Structure 1
Amino acid sequence: MSSRIGTILLIGATSGIGEALTHRFHAMGKKVIVTGRDRAKLATLAAKLNGLETRQLDLADLASFPAIVTQILKDFPTLDTVFINGGVQKCYDLFDPATTSADKIIHEITVNLTAPNLLAQLFAPHLLALAKSGSKSNIFITSSSIAYIPLSFYPTYCAAKAGVHTFTKCFRQQLGFVSEEASKNMNIVEVVPPYVDTGLDHDHREFTVARQGGEEKATPPIALDDYIDRFFASLEKLEPDGSFKKEIGVGFGEMSAGLWRGAFETVYEQMGLTV
């Protein structure tokens, strides 16, 4: 894995999984650039990790993306890996309008689906150019295990993450159409986490636990450190040609992605498509 990643940009890296990934990649000696919405959190992270580069980016501010991406690529022309992470999760009742609003639903779709789509599009030409030149390049995009097996508590979150899952498949197909040779050097990886103990569900965890019948029946989250250890263990398991796996899932995430491939991969193979 180490030879495939030299300089990595982590988008959405000031808390939860993104922050934990930042610490691990930095400890591995990679050149790490991180983005986040909160300038103070970025400064705190930079103070802890010597040499860390930070850039402010709000995933809800779509109009700011082109200028920010252009500047990042100008500042770091050897950037070979982009990791699109971050997101928001809301819990609401479709039959009770008082539990959400149009603005909240739009914001959740914007951050979880529209933003990753646009960012991937903006970084794609740079990563493709590297691949065409013979260098390795990678883009990781985080979906979720409940993109595959949705839960009623999170109607918009599940739908948006299912969109991310589908987007990565389309992205990979297009890469094959553009350049078969470059597709050997550029990896498009869907990251499929299970339920991890982060602050993502802080506002509604008690509610969803109660809906599942209490602590004894509710699905428990896995510890963040455990997830990160297992993610990196999977990341090291390269394909025979040295590529990353198309999906990197842990626990329920690995099972979900495996079920999808077992059911649908052969359909695409019959159409001559790589997914």
Structure 2
Amino acid sequence: MKMQGNTILITGGGSGIGEALAHRLHDLGNRVLIAGRRLQALKAAAAGRNQIVPLELDADDPQAVEAFARQVIADNPALNVLVNNAGIMRMEALDRRRDLGNAEATIRTNLLGPIRLTNAFIDHLVNQPDAAIINCTSGLAFVPLVATPTYSATKAALHSYTVSLREALKGKVEVIELAPPAVQTGLTPGQETREGYMPLADFADETLSILSAQPTPPEILVKRVGFLRFAESEGRFAETLAALNPKG
């Protein structure tokens, strides 16, 4: 992936990983559009950086996504990189009947959101030089956290979707998967300071270092996520699942 001179759209760019990546990519010399539901958070993330542009978007609304894409392309014809980063993580108990609102919301945001955004921009991206799509999945795509089953499942599905997308767009658009470990962000309450989670700045720095390699790896994997990403191929899936989900 080219690291300078891009016009980049990042969903979920108002906080956490999206904001950290937006700042670093902006500082490398890129124009960065950050999109999400919370306009005030987006404006705060863009403060002091004149080439970061906040844009309000409800990615759960199919019509809103299509209208958003048309406007973004009209206003930013040089757009060549899409980063599908927006996501939510909800706790769910599987051992009793429950309301499925959290599960359905997670699927809409984490899986249908990236599919809709990619679909809305794909005809534009295939005609752009140095085009790339980055899908943010998770280490939990490879070993699930039982307390967040739908989150883990959506990330596993997005991993698979990204593999298909990469093959379908070979030679046209570079398709990259970013699979973070547990990072200190606001994804869940108290996570910003949770012990044992990777500091956000360290994650962003290591991610940018890997992303800038030439050729860019198809999967951006910081060292900490290897414990999850390679559990099955290294023959330790059962032990890793148990370690991630201790009983009692």
Query: TM-score scaled to structure 2, two decimals?
Result: 0.86
Deviation at 1:258? 5.4
Q: Which residue of 2 aligns with 1:230?
A: 206
Q: Which residue of 2 aligns with 1:273?
A: none
SS of alignment partner, residue 8 of structure 1? strand
Q: Which residue of 1 aligns with 2:180?
A: 193
Deviation at 1:43? 2.3
Deviation at 1:255? 5.3
1:62 and 2:62 equivalent?
yes
Deviation at 1:47? 2.8
Deviation at 1:124? 1.4
Give runs of ≥4 in structure 1 deviating > 4 Å: 1-5, 203-206, 254-263
Tell me which of 102, 105, 110 is aligned to 2:103.
105
Point out where structure 2 has 5 or more consecutive residues left out of the alignment: 236-248
Tell me which of 218, 221, 230 is aligned to 1:246.
218
Contact 1:193–1:250 (Cα < 8 Å) also in 2 = yes
**CA distance in 2 between partners of 1:260 and 1:237 (Å):** 26
- Residues 151, 79 of structure 1: alpha-carbon distance in 2 compared, 3 angstrom cutoff: same
Q: Which residue of 2 aligns with 1:165?
A: 159
- Residues 25, 260 of structure 1: alpha-carbon distance in 2 compared, 3 angstrom cutoff: farther
**CA distance in 1 between partners of 2:115 and 2:103 (Å):** 17
Higher-helix-fraction structure:
1
Show the 5 A alignment for 1:14-93.
14-93=14-93
Deviates more, 1:23-32 or 1:56-65: 56-65
Contact 2:30–2:51 (Cα < 8 Å) also in 1 = no
**CA distance in 1 between partners of 2:79 and 2:189 (Å):** 34
SS of alignment partner, residue 116 of structure 2? helix
SS of alignment partner, residue 92 of structure 2? coil
Show the 5 A alignment for 1:210-221.
220-221=196-197
Point out where structure 1 has 5 or more consecutive residues left out of the alignment: 177-182, 210-214, 264-275
- Residues 205, 248 of structure 1: alpha-carbon distance in 2 compared, 3 angstrom cutoff: closer
Deviates more, 1:250-259 or 1:42-51: 250-259
Contact 1:248–1:254 (Cα < 8 Å) also in 2 = no
What is the count of residue pairs matched by the alignment?
Answer: 235
Contact 1:8–1:32 (Cα < 8 Å) also in 2 = yes
**CA distance in 2 between partners of 1:48 and 1:3 (Å):** 21
Query: TM-score scaled to structure 1, two decimals?
Result: 0.78
Q: CA RMSD in A?
A: 2.4
Contact 2:8–2:81 (Cα < 8 Å) also in 1 = yes
- Residues 35, 261 of structure 1: alpha-carbon distance in 2 compared, 3 angstrom cutoff: farther
- Residues 232, 9 of structure 1: alpha-carbon distance in 2 compared, 3 angstrom cutoff: same
**CA distance in 2 between partners of 1:255 and 1:174 (Å):** 29
Deviation at 1:139? 0.6
**CA distance in 2 between partners of 1:80 and 1:49 (Å):** 20
Deviation at 1:5? 5.2
**CA distance in 2 between partners of 1:204 and 1:93 (Å):** 20
Q: Which residue of 1 aligns with 2:243?
A: none
| CA deviation vs aligned residue, 1:89-133 (integer Å, no higher than 9, x gap) | 011211134xx5222210011001011111111111111112xxx
**CA distance in 2 between partners of 1:45 and 1:67 (Å):** 24
Show the 5 A alignment for 1:146-157.
146-157=140-151
Deviation at 1:51? 3.0
Deviation at 1:44? 2.1
Larger Rg: 1
Deviation at 1:3? 5.2
